[in-house]
Amino acid sequence: MSGPAALLVVAGALCDGRGRVLIARRPPDRHMAGRWEFPGGKVGPLETEAQALIRELREELGVAVQEPQFCLRLRHAYPDRIVELSCWIVRNFHGEPRGLEHQQLKWVPAGQLDREDILEADLPFIEALQRLLQ
């Protein structure tokens, strides 16, 4: 008998020209409320991961993403769910990111991401970003 299926989600690290990465605070009505994460969301049944990332960042942040770069895939087990996270770097986007789902946003220097209260599932992504962006 196998365990529960993992929830496939995408996460994007929007990077600006100053070496900063955008993170979002999870809203009060969501799982792990108040913690920081990389924006993204669930992959729809007929979407590729890149399509889901582009859609999610448009819906959550109001930005138009072009040519996201796949970074890594990881799996994380929380006490109540398992997530399979497809992580992407986004250097090419148009528009000023804003919290369209009422989430707080902030730009953080890549080297300081590990000082934020970021979800455990995202921690390996931080390590990869710090290697790639510095």
Domain boundaries, the chain: 7-133
Whole-number pLDDT of residue 1: 46
Q: Report CA 57 to chain centroid distance, whole Å.
A: 9
Band (pLDDT 50/70/90 cuts) for residue 132 is confident
**Number of Cβ atoms within 10 Å of the Cβ of 52:** 21
pTM of the model: 0.90
pLDDT in tens, 75-90: 988 888 888 999 999 9
- What is the reported pLDDT for 23? 97
Backbone angles phi, psi at 111, to 5 degrees: -70, -10
Give 51's contacts (C-beta < 8 A, 6+ positions apart): none
Over residues 52-79, mean pLDDT: 95
Q: pLDDT per residue over 2-52, tens digit each?
A: 566 788 999 999 999 899 999 999 888 777 788 999 999 999 999 999 999
Q: Does domain 7-133 have CATH number 1.10.10.10?
A: no
Judged against a pLDDT cut of 70, whether residue 61 lies above it is answered with yes
Phi-psi region of 16 (alpha: psi -120 to 50; beta: other; left: phi over 0): beta
